[in-house]
Amino acid sequence: MRTSWPAVPVLCFVGMLCGPTALPAQERAPGSTPRGVTLLEAATSTLQLHPLLQAQQKQVDISRAVRQQTSAEFDTRLLWSADHKRSNSPLTESARLSLRQAGFDIASESLNLTTVTGAFSRLFRSGIVIGPRLEVVRSAGNLQNVDGASRTRFSFDLNVPLQRGRGRDVVTARETSSELNVAASLFDLNQTAADVLLATATDYWEYVGAVKRLEIVSGSEARAREYVESVGLLIEADKIPRSEIFQVRANLAGRTADRISVEQQLAEARYALGLAMGLGPGQVHEIPLPSDAFPDGPISEPSASPAAVQSYIDMALASRADYQAAEKRKQAADVIKRTSRNSLRPQLDLMVSSGFAGLQEGRGPGDFLDSLYTSARGPDLLFGLRYSRPVSNNLAHGQVAEAEASHQQAALLSSQKAREIAAGVASSLVSVYHGIQRLEKGREAVALYQSALEGEKDKLRLAVGSLTDLLTVEGRLTSALVDLVAAQEAYAIALVRFRHATGTLVPADAAVHSIERDVFFTTPAVRPPQ
C-alpha cells in the first residue's frame, strides 16, 4: 500500500536526500584518485622478490651443475702414485748352501722396491681415450741389484672402442641430454615468472575491485544514514507515519553489513596482493591503495571464430615457455633413448701402446731421475683387443627399457601440455569476448537504474511515490554499480589470463625478466585471421 505524503515535506526530503547519484570511482575524472601502487610496480616487485622465482632460479643452477658433472668425464685426468715395498723371503737350505759356497751367508732374500707412476689421460667425445704414461721402478736387494737399479718406461697409450661406447652421439648422450634439460629449466623459470605475474595481476585487480566496491557501499551506507535522520525529522513533525522509521533503519543496517563485508574483502585482497608481490608479513600493511583503473575495453570485440582460435593456439604453442620446456625434455629423453641400445653391444676395445724404456744403476737420487734417458731403448709396441660382455646383461636391458619409457612419458606430457594450452587459449578468448559484452550490459544497467531513481524522485516530489520504491530502486542501483565493478574486474582478469594463455605475458626465451605495462591492458598484438 502506498503512503501519500504532503507535497512540501516531500520536496524537502527529496531535495536533501535524493540529489544526483554519485558516480562510482572508476567513472570519475582522471587524476582524482590519490597516488598509490600501480600494477607495473606490483609486477616489478613480484619479479624481484617472489620466492618461487628465486627457487626456480636455483633449479636452473642445479641443472647447470648436473650438466657440468656430465661434462666431467671429458676432463683431462692426472694420475700420480708412489709406493715403496720391502720384502724378505726365506731361502731354501740348498740355496743357502750355494750362497755359502760363493762366500755369502744369507738366510733370506730382501728386496726394496719403489714405484712412481704418473699419467695423463683424456676421453674424447669420439670415445677414444689417449694419453702419456711414465713409470719409474727402483729396486735394490741383497741378491739382485745390490748396487740398485732404476728402470723407466715412457709410453703413449691409445684405447679405441670398436663396439660399445663408439661414436660422438653415444659418448656425449648424457652431456647433450643435460644441456637440453638446462634449456628446459630456463623455460620453466620464464613460465614461473608468467605464473606469478598472472597471480599478481589477478590479485591487483581484485584489490582494485574491493576498493571500488567499498566506495560504492560506503556511499550507499552514508545515504542510508541520511535517510534515517531525515525520516526521523519528518516523524517528529508528524508528516509521515512513525512506522516508516523501521524501513530506513533496516535499510541502514543492511548497508552497514555490506560495508563491513566489503572491508573484510579489501583486507583479504591486500594480503593476497602482498603475498603475490613477495613482500614480508610486516610490509603488507604498507601497501597503498591501487592507482591503476580497470581497462575500459577494446573498440571492437576480438574474433572468436575457429580460425582466430587456431591462430592464437599456434601462437601459444610457439610462445609458451612451459610447452617449450616439455619439448626440450622430450628431446632430452629421445637422445637417451636413441643411444641406450648401444649399451647392449659387447665391449670390444683396440689397445695400442708405444714407448721406450731406460735403465740407470746406482743408489744416488740422480740415478733415479737419470733412468729416463740413460740407456734408453725403443721404441717398443703393444697392441691387442679386449672383449667383455655380461652374460645376462640385465643392466643394459633395464637401461634401454627405462630410456624408452622415459621418452614415451615425456612425449605424452608434451602432448597433454599442448592440449591444455589449446583449451586454455580457447577458454580465455571466450572470457575476453564475454567480458566485453558483460561490461556493455553493466554500464547500460547502471544508466537505466540511475534514470529509474530520478523517476522515483520525481514521483516523490509529486506525492505519488513511496519511500519503499525509492529505497528499492536505490538498492538496485547500488547492486548494479557493484555488478559493474565485478564486470570490470572480470574483464581485466580475463585480459591477463588471455595473455598468459597465449604466452605473451613473458617471452619464453627471456634472459632477463622485465614487464611492460601494456601487456596487462591489451590483447596480444598478433591479429588472427577473421
Q: What residue type is 115 in one-letter code?
A: T
Gyration radius from the chain CA atoms: 43
Summarize the chain as % helix, strand, coil (round to 5). 60, 15, 25
Q: Tally the domains of the chain.
A: 2
Same domain, yes or no, for 286 and 158?
no
Q: Are 109 and 158 in a shared domain?
A: yes
The answer on pLDDT for 16 being more than 60 is no
State the burial class of residue 349 (Cβ atoms within 10 Å of its Cβ: 0-12, 13-18, 19+): buried
Please indicate, yes or no, whether residues 380 and 461 belong to a single structural domain of this protein. no
Report residue 59 as a C-alpha cell: 633449479
* Whether 430 and 483 share a structural domain: yes
Of all helices (H) and strands (E), which one includes residue 435?
Answer: helix 394-461
Residue type, 427: S
Using CA of residue 352, residue 356, residue 361, residue 364, what is the dihedral sign?
negative
Q: Which of 350, 382, 19, 319 is closest to 164 using CA atoms? A: 350
Question: Region 369-394: what's the mean pLDDT?
Answer: 85
Do the domain assignments include residue 525?
no
CA 170 to CA 336: how far, in whole Å? 9
pLDDT at site 22: 37
CA distances from 202 to 244, 440, 514 (A): 44, 21, 18
- CA 486 vs CA 202, 216, 276, 435, 438: distances in Å: 13, 12, 21, 10, 10
Same domain, 325 and 410: yes
Are residue 448 and residue 299 in the same domain, yes or no? yes
Cα separation values, 31 from 11, 26, 28, Å = 36, 11, 9
Residues with Cβ within 8 Å of 304's Cβ and at least 6 positions away in sequence, in order, are: 429, 430, 433
Q: Band of the pLDDT at 374, cuts 50, 70, 90?
A: confident
- Phi, psi for residue 289 in degrees, rounded to 5: -70, 155
User: Which is higher by pLDDT, 99 or 210?
Assistant: 210
Strands 77-90 and 108-123: antiparallel
Residue 491 lies in a domain: yes
Domain assignment present for residue 393? The answer is no
Among 294-308, 440-454, 474-488, which stretch is predicted with the lowest mean pLDDT?
A: 294-308
In terms of domains, do 278 and 414 share one?
yes
Residues 118 and 158 in one domain: yes
Q: Is the pLDDT of residue 378 over 70?
A: yes
415 and 378 fall within a common domain: no
* CA atoms of 395 and 385, how far apart (whole Å): 24
Do 309 and 356 fall into the same domain? no
Contact partners, residue 315, CB within 8 Å, separation at least 6: 502, 503, 504, 524, 526
Q: Are strands 129-141 and 77-90 parallel, antiparallel or unpaired?
A: unpaired
* Residue whose C-alpha cell is 629423453: 333
Contact between 227 and 358 under an 8 Å Cβ cutoff? The reply is: no
Query: Among 76-80, 137-141, 349-353, where is mean pLDDT lowest?
Result: 137-141
Q: Cα(406)–Cα(403) distance, rounded to whole angstroms?
A: 5
Confidence grade of residue 11 (pLDDT, cut at 50, 70, 90): very low
Pairing relation of β-strands 108-123 and 149-161?
unpaired
Question: Looking at the domain assignment, is residue 400 inside a domain?
Answer: no
Residue 386 to residue 272: CA distance in whole angstroms: 67
> 187 lies in which domain range?
7-65+176-333+405-520
User: Residue 235: inside a domain, yes or no?
Assistant: yes
Task: Please state the rounded mean pLDDT for residues 208-226.
Answer: 93
For residues 417 and 353, membership in a common domain is answered with no
The residue among 66 and 372 whose pLDDT is bigger is 66
Is the residue at 339 inside a domain?
no
pLDDT in tens, 279-334: 988 888 889 999 999 998 665 567 777 888 899 999 999 999 999 999 999 999 99
Classified as helix, coil or strand, 380 is strand
Please report whether residue 237 resides in a domain. Answer: yes
User: At which residue does the C-alpha cell 576480438 appear?
Assistant: 302
Average pLDDT, integer, range 437-443: 92
In terms of domains, do 313 and 421 share one? Answer: yes
Query: In Å, how far are 100, 135, 147, 366, 389 from 83, measured between CA atoms?
Result: 33, 12, 20, 19, 33
Q: How far apart are CA 173 and CA 449, in angstroms?
A: 70
Q: Among 14, 6, 27, 164, which residue's Cα sits nearest to residue 481? A: 27
pTM given for the model: 0.81
Instruction: Show the cell assigned to 146.
Output: 745390490
Query: Alpha-carbon distance 162 to 170, whole Å?
Result: 12
State CA 305 to chain mean position distance: 32
Q: How far apart are CA 276 and CA 274, in angstroms?
A: 5
Residue 502, phi then psi, degrees to nearest 5: -90, 0
pLDDT in tens, 22-79: 333 334 434 444 468 999 999 999 999 999 999 999 999 999 999 999 999 999 999 9
CATH code of 240's domain: 1.20.1600.10
Q: How many angstroms separate the CA atoms of 32 and 171, rounded?
A: 68
Cell numbers 602432448 correspond to what residue?
415
Give the pLDDT of residue 458.
87
Decide: 63 and 185 in contact? Cβ < 8 Å.
yes
The cell for 10 is: 516531500
Domain assignment of residue 47, yes or no: yes
Report which residue type is found at 408.
Q
In the prediction, which pLDDT does 219 show? 92
pLDDT band at 12 (very low <50, low <70, confident <90, very high): very low
